[in-house]
Amino acid sequence: MLTTALAMVNQAGLTVSLDHISFEDVIRDAGVARSAVYRRWPYKDLFFSDLLRELARGTGPAAGSGDIAATDAVARVVLDHLDWLRTPAHRRALAAEILRQGALREFETFLGSPEWRTYLALHATFLSLPDGDLRTEVQDALTTSEHALIHRVAGTYEHVTGLLGLRLRPDLDAGFDTVANLASATIRGLVVMAPANPSIATRRFQANPFGAPGPAEWSQPALGIAGIVMTFLEADPAIDWTGERLEDLRRTLTTT
């Protein structure tokens, strides 16, 4: 029953309530006996409470960066701009170029994902729950899911930063988890705003905000994410991009 209902929610997305999920439809689609269902959940509200717990455990929400496609996309951008690594300023510009391409792709994925809409709606649903065991359990599950999500995003940022010979600015006294939290909050806010403000998804700017050799087409999600992340990054003075180091990186990226 829970697996069937999760599939229904993930197909249609979660509203701020679960009113669009029919208990009888779940029973039918799950192919289980009604008598067995009502022994397990004498009242349908008990079933929906368990469904909220399952959703909050984060078994399905879009988790953003770190998948194979994103990793391949980063490698392609770096390989296309290897010469940018030769100077500290252009190293930062390369990080911004990765964000320029990746932020829009991530935004469009989240905007079109029922699972991601469900994850956002679940946070709103949680706020409406009365105090009690269910609210506490959903909050605990959301906290665990959020920590896992931010950990993955922070790990991706840390990996790419090291790959490019950059580091976090020591004077800001912030870790990659802080960067991931701020970037994640920005992309979520834009996803929530986009239905009422479609230009967030469609508007483009010819700009060069981070010192690349030339201007490029920027989206609002890319400007928002890059504006945050780039605030924290600087070239690592301990790293010298020699020809040998560049060739080692090229081999690594083309063989992984």
Asked, for residue 62, whether it belongs to a domain, the answer is no
Q: Which domain holds residue 162?
A: 68-255
Strand partners, 234: 167
Residues 86 and 188 in one domain: yes
Inform me whether the pLDDT recorded for 230 exceeds 60: yes
**Tell me, what DSSP letter sits at residue 130?**
P
The string of DSSP codes covering 69-121 is: HHHHHHHHHHHHTGGGGGSHHHHHHHHHHHHHHHHHHHHHHHHT-HHHHHHHH
Mean pLDDT is highest, among 120-124, 136-140, 232-236, for 232-236
Asked, for residue 27, whether it belongs to a domain, the answer is yes
pLDDT of 181 reads: 96
Residues 181 and 218 in one domain: yes
Residues 97 and 183 in one domain: yes
Residues 102 and 227 in one domain: yes
Lowest mean pLDDT among 32-46, 61-75, 202-216: 61-75
Residues 132 and 239 in one domain: yes
Asked, for residue 206, whether it belongs to a domain, the answer is yes
Residues 48 and 115 in one domain: no
User: Which band of pLDDT confidence, cut at 50, 70 and 90, is reported for residue 15?
Assistant: low
pLDDT, mean over the chain: 88
Residues 137 and 241 in one domain: yes
Residues 36 and 123 in one domain: no
**146-178 residue pLDDT tens:** 898 899 999 999 999 999 999 999 999 999 999
Residues 168 and 50 in one domain: no
**CB 109, CB 103: distance < 8 Å:** no
Lowest mean pLDDT among 62-66, 114-118, 192-196: 62-66
Q: In sequence order, what E strands does the chain have?
A: 166-168, 204-207, 216-219, 233-235
pLDDT of 185 reads: 93
Burial 15-41 (b: 16+ CB within 10 A, else e): eeebeebebeebbeeeeeeeeebeeeb
Average pLDDT, integer, range 34-38 = 93
User: Which band of pLDDT confidence, cut at 50, 70 and 90, is reported for residue 81?
Assistant: very high
Asked, for residue 76, whether it belongs to a domain, the answer is yes
Asked, for residue 12, whether it belongs to a domain, the answer is yes
Average pLDDT, integer, range 225-238 = 96
Asked, for residue 63, whether it belongs to a domain, the answer is no
Alpha-carbon distances, residue 107 vs 19, 240, 255 (angstroms)? 28, 34, 29
Helix 88-111 with 220-232: angle, nearest 10 deg: 140
Asked, for residue 88, whether it belongs to a domain, the answer is yes
Residues 109 and 89 in one domain: yes
**86-123 residue pLDDT tens:** 999 999 999 999 999 999 988 988 888 877 777 778 88
Residues 42 and 80 in one domain: no
User: Which band of pLDDT confidence, cut at 50, 70 and 90, is reported for residue 142?
Assistant: confident
Which of these, 121, 115, 108, lies nearest to 198 by C-alpha position? 108
How deeply is 54 buried, as exposed, middle or buried, from its count of CB atoms within 10 A (0-12, 13-18, 19+)? middle
Inform me whether the pLDDT recorded for 129 exceeds 90: no
Residues 155 and 186 in one domain: yes
Inform me whether the pLDDT recorded for 38 exceeds 80: yes
**Tell me, what DSSP letter sits at residue 218?**
E
Number of compact structural domains in the chain: 2
Asked, for residue 61, whether it belongs to a domain, the answer is no
Inform me whether the pLDDT recorded for 20 exceeds 80: no
